[in-house]
Structure 1
Amino acid sequence: MATRSKAHTALGALREDLTGEVFAPGEPGYEEARLVFNAMIDRRPAVIARCAHPADVARAVRFARELDLHIAVRGGGQGLAGARVDGALVVDLRRMHGVTVDPAAEAVRVEGGATMGDLDRATRPYGLATAGARAPATGVAGFVLGGGTGRLDRAFGLAVDDLIGVELVTADAERVHANADENPELFWALHGGGGNFGIATALTLELHELPEFSEVLLLCLPESGPDVVRTFRELVRTGPDEVGGAVMYLGPDRVLCGALLTYAGGEAGLRELAEPLLALPHTAELTGAEAGRLLCSPGGRAHWSAECLTGLPDELVDVFCDRAQAVPAPGGFRPVLLPLGGAVVTGPAGYPVPYRDAPWLLHPFARWTDPADDERALAWVRDTCADVRPWRTGAVPLDLIGDEGPERVRAGLGAGNLLRLEKVKRRWDPDNVFRFNHNIAPV
């Protein structure tokens, strides 16, 4: 009885203190607030604090520590893991989505709940960009702090390479800054260590000049897939770092092989580079917004994974295409090959991002609606990754996987970095308050 009374009193105080909203089970707005983008995830937190500014975040952390509640953080976008946050406090940052561009300094401050769509809309009028994610609904903070491989990484490097500073609320509800000069060891750990060390209320990122960006998506019959993949491979190998994109199999109504070629430049330059692809037989050619609309996946249930590859030899191309033509259903089941290299390789060394030297990345991606298809979808992702086992580097980008166990976390951080990360964790979160992530336990 005393414990319930203490919790009731603390919850009342939280409501009074927060500028944002507080939701508890059975109250109006709670059911909507607890929903996440992945319909496979059905969790019931004890409290959801939708914060409006960093002081709200600090107050919410103090509330959770007073009541010995676990804390989960909801940023702007599409984290896959779906942590078991039943009975926990969820700090919801989605009201904190402001983006402030400093064009003279070629830098941008991004609040913790902003998405890539928010960031792109703010920077585009200045002809500036970050090494952004491939989907506009991706949350910037989780994407960047997890490493961040995206649509412009060959041209600009990984998203975390652009990180200038982080504003954090710690497990002790203190507001701190981390950059190259202030808390430099924490700043190092945030380059790939994700949300293990605090709640990122804002990031400051370097921007790159990008006056033009162009893309073309070619759709080909599936039997042409091996030729399409090999041609795309050679375009990336011989082209400039400004060239990127993906090859994939996609629907929506039947399985087709798609080659998306992107270029950090104008359309004329893109079309010149794309000539070998354009010469192949294809059923459709889409550019700009048309290509983006087709690549958007429907809502519902989701699962995906990733494997870094040592290369893309012909044997692997054939394995990929054979698996891709046998997807359980067109549309939502998309095996994708992504080229790395370029500025990813030449980016700053020493950060806990162990996959810089991988030239290619496999990313099987599944979206579906019927719960009866859950096991089939998960098995398809698992089997697609198993196909490439002989060509794996052993590293993995954590921003492209869910909860796949501690060994995969180690693979995403680099075994040689783990002890150093564990020491940083001990300094900033010795009780492992922030555990609903790719977790680093304090040493």
Structure 2
Amino acid sequence: MDATLLETMRTALRGPVIGPGDPGYGQARTVYNAMIDKKPAAVVECRDTADVMAAVDFVREHGLDVAVRGGGHSGPGLCLADDAVTIDLSPMRGVRVDPAIQTAQADGGATLGDLDHATHAFGLATPAGIMSTTGIGGLTLGGGHGYLTRKYGLTVDNLVSADVVLADGSFVAANPSENPDLFWALRGGGGNFGVVTSFDLELHPVDTVGAGATVWPLELFPDVLRWYRDFLPQAPDDLYGFFASLCVPPAPPFPEEIHGQKMCGVVWSSTSAPEALEETLAVVHEPGPPAFHFTAPMPYPALQAMFDGLIPAGLQWYWRGDFFDRITDDAVDVHAEFAEKLPTGLSTMHLYPVDGVAGRVGPDDTAWAYRDAVWSGVIGGIDPDPANAGAIRDWAVGYWEALHPHSMGGAYVNFLGAGERQDRVRATYRGHYDRLAEVKRTYDPHNLFHANQNIEPAAAH
């Protein structure tokens, strides 16, 4: 984009348009994952929906490439593209709560922390992630799972309506009565169909929750994972716990004598009486004595923010994911092998439960195609040092290649890594892919929004 075109774009928008020659360009193109080093032609920091509409019109009319940024947490960096215009929603972070009907309207650039802060004042929350710095937009469009998923479903199961700027620059609502085909596709289909400028979400009574963490020595890994795979799916929906391979963080509440040790563990939460969690988890000694165990009542936003300091923006990270309906003994062996090979102190593997209420939604009700999954797994190589980028990538890919034969074939779309093939996108959507491609043809026939895990428009009949 030459200087004249850049200046023309500035006149069309209220928010700043930041080009490569501008002082703020380096910061504007920075995203959560420091492994991403892309150089967009411009970053448009949209102030409102009118800015988004103008930006979409501008890139389409001038034949420019485009990417869309919400919270900037995209692991493969899909919110940026070289020589493209990034439509950056991060200035649009408002959240409005209606406590009477228990809904919240969150702008497209809002983070989970923004949402939690606004809803917690009313003793309400919706299922969404495990880190407060995550953007509500990307998380929701991919499906969205987190601490409340077993009790209240996926984020998309709680999406009431969405405001969308389409590829032709028009503004539409998507909900069960307006553009229902688009509404279906937005609930798990990623950023393929337009720029969502606000999300209306159903809220639930959630205030103080029971929170906890249990870690066991690595030699107990096979026994713990076999115990966990049997224990959690039969537990009440109120109880949630994600399994992890980890190096114990050098911080409270973990005692100093286990800091830095490779272990396995479960992070727990419960929406029933917070003080009852300790009694519920008396069984954590069954697979063997934990190295550390604690439970405590905790405000829900504090639980959501618990890992923010451990994994701040600016680290190198590379991830791969898959869905699992069971954890076989052979898969346990793979997990144990790669837990011993954790390449850095922050690298990890998580198994997030997606059963309970989420598993009881109809398989065709939303674009999320794995209602029969029990866990959404992610393997994350993470480290602050760019020199270790290759090591964490190789570990994550090697781990995934060994584990993938024990998976269901597809992954949570937000856990697809950089450079994965189109067949992985198809596997993620299973039999829904062709229907999504038809919706794509209706709302984005020329594939303007392709800087994503892309669903190509269906061919004209």
Correspondence for 1:248 among 233, 244, 249? 244
> Closer, same or farther in 2 for the Cα pair 1:85/1:9, shift >3 Å?
same
Aligned residue runs from structure 1 range 117-266, under 5 A: 117-251=113-247, 252=249, 253-266=260-273
Does 1:282 find its partner at 2:277?
no
Separation (CA, whole Å) in 1 of partners of 2:77 and 2:405: 30
Which residue in 2 is equivalent to 1:419? 434
Separation (CA, whole Å) in 2 of partners of 1:88 and 1:314: 46
Residues 365 and 381, structure 1, Cα contact 8 Å, conserved in 2: yes
Separation (CA, whole Å) in 2 of partners of 1:43 and 1:281: 47
Which residue in 1 is equivalent to 2:257? none
Which residue in 1 is equivalent to 2:423? 407
Q: CA-to-partner distance for each residue in 1:354-389, whole Å, 9 max, x for gaps?
A: 111012232111211233322221121112222223
Which residue in 2 is equivalent to 1:51? 46
Amino acid paired to 1:71:
V
SS in 2 for 1:345: helix
Which residue in 1 is equivalent to 2:328? 313
- Please report the TM-score for the alignment, with normalisation by the length of structure 2: 0.89
Residues 131 and 307, structure 2, Cα contact 8 Å, conserved in 1: no
Gaps of 5+ in 2: 250-259
Amino acid paired to 1:75:
G
Which residue in 2 is equivalent to 1:86? 82
The worse-fitting range, judged by mean Cα deviation, of 202-211 and 113-122 is 202-211
Separation (CA, whole Å) in 2 of partners of 1:316 and 1:8: 55
CA root-mean-square deviation: 2.0
Deviation of 1:413 after TM superposition, in Å, equals 1.5
Q: CA-to-partner distance for each residue in 1:23-72, whole Å, 9 max, x for gaps?
A: 11111211111111111111111111100100011111122123211111
Which residue in 1 is equivalent to 2:306? 292
Residues 93 and 114, structure 2, Cα contact 8 Å, conserved in 1: yes
Separation (CA, whole Å) in 2 of partners of 1:147 and 1:161: 8
Amino acid paired to 2:96:
T
Gaps of 5+ in 1: none
Separation (CA, whole Å) in 2 of partners of 1:12 and 1:295: 39
Residues 235 and 274, structure 1, Cα contact 8 Å, conserved in 2: no
Does 1:268 find its partner at 2:275?
yes
Residues 221 and 283, structure 1, Cα contact 8 Å, conserved in 2: yes
Aligned residue runs from structure 1 range 345-364, under 5 A: 345-350=359-364, 351-364=366-379
Which residue in 1 is equivalent to 2:350? 336
Percent identity reads 38
Q: CA-to-partner distance for each residue in 1:146-202, whole Å, 9 max, x for gaps?
A: 111222211111111111111111111111111111111111111111111110110
Does 1:72 find its partner at 2:67?
yes
> Closer, same or farther in 2 for the Cα pair 1:158/1:295, shift >3 Å?
farther
Q: CA-to-partner distance for each residue in 1:197-235, whole Å, 9 max, x for gaps?
A: 110110111112223322111122211222322333333
Give the number of equivalent residue pairs. Answer: 436
Amino acid paired to 2:74:
G
Amino acid paired to 1:95:
P
Deviation of 1:9 after TM superposition, in Å, equals 4.4
Does 1:325 find its partner at 2:340?
yes
Which residue in 1 is equivalent to 2:255? none
Q: CA-to-partner distance for each residue in 1:50-95, whole Å, 9 max, x for gaps?
A: 0010001111112212321111101124011224611111111000
Separation (CA, whole Å) in 2 of partners of 1:274 and 1:294: 25
Correspondence for 1:429 among 432, 440, 444? 444
> Closer, same or farther in 2 for the Cα pair 1:237/1:189, shift >3 Å?
closer
The worse-fitting range, judged by mean Cα deviation, of 276-285 and 417-426 is 276-285
